[in-house]
Amino acid sequence: MPYRGSLSTGHLRAVARLAITAEGLALPAADFAGEIAQLIDRGTAARQALIARSDRFAAAAERLGGDQPSDRLHLLLGLGWRQSELLDIARREQPDEQAALLSACFNAAITLYDMLIDEHPGAGADKQVTAELVAALFRDPAATADRLDELAERADDARLALYLVLMSQCARLGQALRSRPEGDAAWDRLGALVRRLYTVQVENEAAGHADLALPSDVTLAIGELARPGDLPPPREVAGAVGTVLAVVDDAADLLADLDAGRANSLLAEASPADPELADADLYDAVAAGVAAARVAIERIQAAADDGYAVEGLVRFTRAMAMAWTDWPAVRPPEPGSPEPGSPQLGSPQPGSPDQSGPLERAVAFLLAAQATGYAEATHWLHLPRSDWSYETHPAVVAQRAVITCALLDAREVGIPVPDAVLAQDLLALLRAKHRGVRGGWSYLPSVPELPPDADDIGQVVQALARYCATDGGRLAESGDEPIRMLLDSPGEDGGVPTWVIDPRGRTAADAAVLDYLPVMGGWGTHTEVVANFGFALHCYQPHRHAGELDRLVAFLSRRQEADGSWESRWYAGPYYGTYKALALLAAHAPNSPAVARGRAFLRGRQDSAGAWALDAAEPESLSTAFALAGLACAAGAEDVTALHAGVAALLDRQASDGSWEAQPWIFFGTMSGDEAFGSSTITTAYALAALAASSRRLGHHHLAAAGTAP
């Protein structure tokens, strides 16, 4: 199935790491480091044991030199050793070291064989090791081992030579175990499994989930060979371990398998509506693979009810899933994270009867909303389709991105936010990418003729780029193509257009988008959209796009109103556009005169109680949140009093459940009248963002003092 996108393997592995976090499979850093240390320790011991057993192995490993498989050899050996060891421990037995060494040797051999066939077809592994030779290995292991050693000496490829020597050692170690009492039945079972695994590798079958566990089944069979007649082996457990390793491996190698035309269990289950795979289809496949890994780990955990000690096996399996996706050994603290032991912003003062601060309560409200899929924040938009028939569709992409950014704001000032929640929302955003056309995200994914737009792209890229220091940039690569399309589009007055139209579009889906624009309307360059998109560039790659950011900043300066505000095409009132414009200007051009004019506008519209309102209406929480956020991101010394008053006014309107009331957020005219939408969840997200931004200007002590103005 062809793939028409432009994603990279590094990006998809970051998505797999995101999915692992979303499924709750990621270990704490210390546990992950400990598991990797044990893997290296066992692998080093296995390598030393093999060198002591065989001069041929020592020569083959040395011949490989600094090549990648040699660098990873101790890890491949350690993986097999640890599986054997932990499956033995699961049966409440001391590990059998000879079985562990055979498992180490076999795991390294089968992994190297897979590499030889997949990545180095010229090496000839599938020609040197025939089905007859594999069968002979179990009929006459001693003679076959000698033959494998001879083939290794003649092999031109160093990788092939090492593989053949490893298989020779597997034959010799297996024969020694077979000589134990009652070993013949276990030997036959092991032979059948190895022959099946060989067939899968050579024929490059689209392996089903039953075959994904084969390498771990072999490891278990080696344990049975070492301990015939002991406690029944945990076959379900071994199969689950194998499934985890296989599906995560397929997730990590998804693009490489696509490019090479290799079988991949995750792609075998993909069934997109379009004959070509889109980016979102790949995200679905990665998410499905990691979800299958979680289910398999739950099967391992369930084995504890049958008397197996599986805690170590679960920890090992989770660590290997992380390692398979290039998980960093040390994850640096997030930007703005408080030092250990420092007071957390928003926490109650000592002796306060309230057990949580205002920001913590707001976060708790948003976390509860996330558990419902943001039902209250979903905009059910009644709109015409291409044939002018009206339908109602749910919009939650922009809302989810806004809420995720607010939770990231809270985390950056020290409020705990579960990583799994952030990862779940970011994964959902990636999977919402438009499947029919290039250009990123649209407001209504369920309306395929609605084109992607710069506003949704900007909000989603902000969330992806800000997620974490190690993965944010890689995740935001999903926006590279849409960003380039927008920057290359001739927007009015130096901006970028709101709708993203593929200039190369030739498909039926592209034609449907073009036909729909006269129905939907809204074409043009809109100030708040340009500002939101520009701020995404600043969050993601400010140095790469410095010149283009200069262009967008100049556009915003020209579009500023006489009173210092910026109006919006798609949102209610002047405060949203002013907030978005100031966020970009303060970040990229803080000395621009437009910044000072914007701050003056906001101070001038603040009422005596510290709040802001639309026109002459009563003060509103959402207007206050926008104005406060805009002022906080650009504030100078003369704005401190206004910030204190704004914080106090906003906190005074917070409900006991941590929320703020729903008020109009989205507002635009249509042929059938004005469309207005607001939600308590959205107001709360922007209020949280405003308070977090204010706290960075005013210091961590201010909100803990319940918003009392000086």
The per-residue DSSP string of 376-424 comes to: TT-EEEEEE-TTS-EEEEEE-HHHHHHHHHHHHHHHHTT----HHHHHH
Q: Which pLDDT tens digit goes with each residue over 627-672?
A: 999 999 999 889 999 999 999 999 999 999 999 999 999 999 877 7
| Residue 99, strand partner residues | none
CA pair distance 50, 101, nearest whole angstrom: 8
- Give tens-digit pLDDT for 220-276: 888 877 775 555 667 888 889 989 998 998 999 999 888 887 778 888 766 656 678
List the one residue out of 163, 138, 3, 146 whose CA is nearest residue 73.
163
Of 29-38, 193-202, 477-486, the poorest mean pLDDT is in 193-202
Closest CA to 12 of 604, 546, 427: 427
Tell me, what amino acid is at 32? F
In the predicted structure, residue 618 carries a pLDDT above the cut 90: no
Lookup: tokens for 106: 């076999």
Dihedrals phi, psi of 130, to nearest 5 degrees: -90, 170
Name all contacts of 500-508 with Cβ < 8 Å and 24+ positions apart: 500/439, 500/440, 500/451, 500/452, 500/453, 500/454, 500/457, 501/439, 501/451, 502/437, 502/438, 502/439, 504/438, 505/437, 505/438, 507/436, 507/437
Between residues 471 and 118, which one has the greater pLDDT? 471
Candidates 59, 175, 55, 163; CA nearest to 105 is 163
The predicted structure's pLDDT at residue 492: 83
pLDDT at 708 exceeding the cut of 50:
no
State the pLDDT at residue 682: 98
Least confident among 33-47, 121-135, 162-176: 121-135
Q: Give the lowest-confidence range in 150-164, 172-186, 197-211, 511-525.
A: 197-211
pLDDT band at 535, cuts 50/70/90? very high
Q: What is the pLDDT of residue 221?
A: 83
Please tell me the predicted confidence (pLDDT) of residue 350. 39
Residue 343's region, left for phi above 0, alpha for psi from -120 to 50, else beta, is beta
Model pLDDT, residue 63: 80
pLDDT confidence of residue 217:
82
Whole-angstrom distance, CA of residue 109 vs CA of residue 660: 60
Strand 666-670 relative to strand 390-395, pairing: unpaired
CA distance 292 to 321: 12
Mean pLDDT over each residue of the chain, to the nearest integer: 87
Cα–Cα nearest to 523, from 461, 457, 450:
450
Model confidence over 385-439: pLDDT tens digits? 998 899 999 999 999 999 999 999 999 999 999 999 999 999 999 999 999 999 9
Look at residue 555 and tell me whether its pLDDT is greater than 50: yes
